[in-house]
Amino acid sequence: MQDAIKQRLGRTLPFVPLVLGLVVLALAVAVVVVKKSDDRPRAEVGDVFANPGGGAVKHRGEVFLPWIRLDVGAGEPRDELPDLLGADANVRAPKGGSFVQVQARNTGGVLLSTVTWPYTADVELLLRADGTDYSLSGPGGLNYTAADPNSTSEERWVAVKGHPKDLAVVVRIGDEEQVVDASDGSVELGRAAELAALPTVQEHFQNRKDIGCGRFRRTDDSPVQIDYPKSVECKVQQTLRTPYVDGIGWAEPGHEFLVVQIEPPDYVDVSVPDGAPTATSFQDTLSHSAELGGSASLSEPADTKALGQYVLGPTAVQFVFDVAKDKPAGALTITTHIRARGQRGFAFRTEHAGIEWTVPGRKLA
Please report the pLDDT score of residue 132 as a whole number: 98
Asked whether 80 and 54 are in contact (CB, 8 A), the reply is no
Is residue 226 domain-shared with residue 356, that is, in the same domain?
Answer: yes
Is residue 357 domain-shared with residue 268, that is, in the same domain?
Answer: yes
Is residue 255 domain-shared with residue 155, that is, in the same domain?
Answer: no
For a pLDDT cut of 70, what percent of the chain falls above it? 85
Confidence of residue 310 (pLDDT cuts 50, 70, 90): low
Is residue 26 domain-shared with residue 134, that is, in the same domain?
Answer: no
Please report the pLDDT score of residue 164 as a whole number: 98
Residue 88 has pLDDT above 70, yes or no: yes
Distance between CA atoms of 88 and 82, rounded to whole angstroms?
8
Is residue 137 domain-shared with residue 75, that is, in the same domain?
Answer: yes
The mean pLDDT of 354-360, rounded to a whole number, is 97
Tell me the backbone φ, ψ of residue 139, rounded to 5 degrees.
-55, 130
- Cis before 118? omega within 30: yes
Residue 344 has pLDDT above 50, yes or no: yes
Span of 8-17, 168-177, 215-224, 307-316 with lowest mean pLDDT: 8-17
Residue 147 has pLDDT above 80, yes or no: no
Do the domain assignments include residue 135?
yes
Do the domain assignments include residue 41?
no
Residue 131 has pLDDT above 90, yes or no: yes
Is residue 235 domain-shared with residue 100, that is, in the same domain?
Answer: no
Task: Kindly tell me the burial class for residue 264, based on how many C-beta atoms sit within 10 Å of its own C-beta (0-12, 13-18, 19 or more).
Answer: buried
Domain count, the chain: 3
Question: What sign has the CA pseudo-torsion 302, 308, 309, 315?
Answer: positive
Q: Model pTM greater than 0.85? A: no
Do the domain assignments include residue 340?
yes
Do the domain assignments include residue 43?
no
Is residue 212 domain-shared with residue 357, that is, in the same domain?
Answer: yes
Distance between CA atoms of 82 and 270, rounded to whole angstroms?
71
Is residue 233 domain-shared with residue 319, that is, in the same domain?
Answer: yes
Is residue 16 domain-shared with residue 147, that is, in the same domain?
Answer: no
Please report the pLDDT score of residue 18 as a whole number: 42
Please report the pLDDT score of residue 33 as a whole number: 44
- Domain-terminating residue out of 167, 192, 217: 192
CA distances from 332 to 23, 196, 211, 213, 257 (A): 92, 27, 12, 9, 14
Distance between CA atoms of 251 and 321, rounded to whole angstroms?
10
Question: Mean pLDDT for the chain?
Answer: 86
The mean pLDDT of 212-227, rounded to a whole number, is 94
Please report the pLDDT score of residue 200 as a whole number: 86
Do the domain assignments include residue 70?
yes
Do the domain assignments include residue 304?
yes
Residue 31 has pLDDT above 50, yes or no: no
- Domain-terminating residue out of 192, 216, 246: 192
Is residue 145 domain-shared with residue 214, that is, in the same domain?
Answer: no
Of 4 and 163, the one with more pLDDT:
163
- Domain-terminating residue out of 192, 218, 241: 192
The pLDDT tens digits for 4-25 are: 545 554 554 454 444 444 444 4
Instruction: Show the domain range for 15.
Output: 2-36
Do the domain assignments include residue 18?
yes
Is residue 87 domain-shared with residue 121, that is, in the same domain?
Answer: yes
Residue 314 has pLDDT above 90, yes or no: no
Closest CA to 82 of 103, 105, 60, 104: 103
The pLDDT tens digits for 239-249 are: 999 999 999 99
Of 184 and 37, the one with more pLDDT:
184
Do the domain assignments include residue 202?
no
The mean pLDDT of 92-114, rounded to a whole number, is 94
Residue 283 has pLDDT above 90, yes or no: no
Confidence of residue 123 (pLDDT cuts 50, 70, 90): very high
Residue 28 has pLDDT above 80, yes or no: no
Of 345 and 91, the one with more pLDDT:
91
Is residue 180 domain-shared with residue 139, that is, in the same domain?
Answer: yes
Confidence of residue 311 (pLDDT cuts 50, 70, 90): low
Residue 111 has pLDDT above 60, yes or no: yes
